[in-house]
Structure 1
Amino acid sequence: MSQQLRGSLYLLGAAFLWGTTFVAQMTGMDELGPYGYSAARYVVGLAAILVVWYAFRGARAKAKAAGTYHSGWRYGVGSGLFMFTASILQQVGMTGTTAGKAAFITSLYIVLVPIGAVLLGKRIRKENWAGAAIAVAGLYLLSMHGSFSLAYGDALELIGSFFWAGQILFIDRFAAHVDAIELSVSQIAVCAVGSIALALGFETVTMTALAHSWIPIAFGGICSSAIAFTLQIFGQKYADPAPAAILMSFEAVFGALSGCLVLGEILTARETAGCLLMLAGAIVTQAGLFFSATPQPPSQRGEGPKGGGSPLHDE
């Protein structure tokens, strides 16, 4: 399996888990506030990813012995600050907007990521810009219904989309150069600590509410926080940021499809057209790979720390 295909599958896996977790994020606030749900979710996610970190201690020891290991702890703090800010803005914003508008506004990182990459000195291919435009049009058809007006919750989602873009660009710069699992543990720990502080300072969290919300907490913590964000890190080892953002935005498509399968919702012709346009955008942005005789290896995509990468990084 090629590195590009492997990375795309990792990112689509992350998008699938994020999309199916969207309902859990909403139902988790039936009895908990946004900070309380986020705190519980990230604590569960941290516990889950620590199990994975411990399980791969042998691989890290071999990497250290071979001189290819480079710690991901401090880089995870950087990405964690972006991720914490974005996720809190998203969670609070959900209390003041519709699910469709939240999905659309959040996923505007499809456009923000290539713009940010250009500002950081990276060259974005024409097909990436074209694919992003097509995907945004598809996302609008899929998510937006009725007139568009920017309410308070929408504004929070919009600000959050800039931080999601920052998190994606941060991961792009360092994912191929450090221990990916350590980076994931570190960024989730930042989110857990920050969410706990906000919950203790601004909300009253009861054991009864936590017990009644254990399903959305467990699903959001394990599937979205621990697994999906780790898949994102591994996926971005092999994918440039612009196409990676489009693949991750498929969380909106998977969210709509899960609504059909789990909740019995029916996709309208407009929504189906939106899904197809997003698929077309993803195909367009990957077009350059079919004409590139020598794909750029992940190690040359950024200037991360020298001295090796993750013990699970396939060269």
Structure 2
Amino acid sequence: MTEKRNIPGFVYKLMLLAATVIWGIAFVVMKDAVDVLPPAQLIGVRFFLTGLLMAVVFHRSLKGTWNGPCLKAGLVLAAVTFLAFWVQTIGLADTTPGKNAFLTATYCVIVPFMLWAAAGKRPTVANIGAAFLCIAGIGLVSLTASALTMEFGDVMTLLCAVFFAAQIIAISHYSKKFNVLALTVYQFLFGGLLGMLVGGLIEPMPNLSALTPEFAFNLFYLVVFASGLCYLFQNMGLAHVAPAQGALLLSLESVFGVLASVLLYGEVVTGRMLVGFALIFAAILVSELAPARKTSEQREGAADYDADEEYAPVA
């Protein structure tokens, strides 16, 4: 506990920021990798290899955590995380990395409303205004001008944002009760097994001739950097940064995702899409920055709420 207290708070925020840069590039990497492995199998292999790697590196942190409550928490996180990434990857196969990145980031706007449903904490006026801004932005980014319909990939990406919102709340809750490193290991091991199980049941087997060195590099990036390092940064960061501030920092992933898509994937961003991206990002800022101006009394109440033993939003 002493080591944790000696680490300045801004270091945990830098961890979250670094994760967003790596994840931004990962949108392009995933776009290529999903052409080789179907979504569930890709997520399963990625997560399981990450879990094995982290179990070896942090094996000392696993001592004393092989118990029912900790394993259950890891399983809950694994299920929510797998669903989020699986649905996101399905959407990515039918949309561009830039659109996938920004539509995923709408989870920041969803979090306050999910907290309302889970614990009865009403959204602020700013949260409601952010929701309208976000809806307008989604319309500009995703709706076709002729038929006012959304592409399948965009719909799936918005669905994944709901799961990511649940994941943020779950990590913030469980990281206060269990060892963060052990929790992250179980999150990936169980998520990987779940992905391989689902993929083996409903997806076709991959073409082995498509497993090229380029795919191996993409998988290495996803396992070591986009999964292992980033989730270690996220889970440690969210354990020491307020959920609203953490969600705000993580939302920058969308900006880096669009930049990576334009520079590495060659995505063409239209003026209409730019306005939509701007509205979505403005919604994220309004939703997350405005609540930060609460009084100290309200903050203390929020802290008491976060520590509430009865709060189990995704169990």
TM-score of the two chains, using structure 1 as the length reference: 0.75
Q: 1:98 to 1:210 in 2, by over 3 A?
A: same
Identity %: 23
Classify the secondary structure of the residue corresponding to 2:150.
coil
Change (3 A) 1:245 1:7: same
1:31-180 aligned at under 5 Å gives the runs 31-54=36-59, 57=60, 72-121=70-119, 123=121, 126=124, 129=127, 132-133=130-131, 136=134, 140=138, 147=145, 149-180=149-180
Query: Partner residue of 2:313?
Result: none
Distance 2:241 2:128 in 1: 17
SS, match of residue 96 in structure 1: coil
Partner of residue 246, structure 1: 248
Distance (Å, rounded) in 2 between the aligned partners of 1:252 and 1:194: 27
- Residue segments in structure 2 that go unaligned for 5+ positions in a row: 1-6, 311-315
* Cα displacement (A) at 1:115: 0.6
After superposition, give the CA deviation of every residue in 1:283-312 in whole Å (9 maximum; x if it has no partner).
Answer: 88346657756865968623359xxxxxxx
Deviations 1:255-277 (A, max 9, x none): 12234555677877774994698
Give 3-state SS (helix, strand or coil) of 2:34's partner: coil
- The aligned counterpart of 1:255 is 257
Aligned residues: 295
CA contact (8 A) 1:131 1:282 kept: no
1:219 paired with 2:221, answer: yes
Partner of 1:203: 204
Deviation at 1:179, TM superposition (A): 0.4
Shift of 1:161: 2.0
1:278 aligns with 2:288: no
Other structure's SS at 2:119 match: coil
> Once the 2 structures are TM-superposed, how far is the Cα of residue 151 of structure 1 from its aligned partner?
3.0
Shift of 1:33: 2.0
Distance across 2 between alignment mates of 1:247 and 1:124: 23
User: What TM-score results when the alignment is normalised by the length of structure 2?
Assistant: 0.75
Deviates most, 118-127 or 276-285? 276-285
Name the CA shift for 1:273/1:125 in 2 (closer, same or farther; >3 Å): same
Pairwise CA RMSD: 3.8
Match in the other structure for 1:237: 239
Cα 1:225–1:100 change in 2 (3 A) is: same
Q: Partners in 2 of 1:48 and 1:253 — Cα distance?
A: 29
Q: Is the 8 A contact 1:7 1:238 kept in 2?
A: yes
Per-residue deviation at 1:111?
1.9
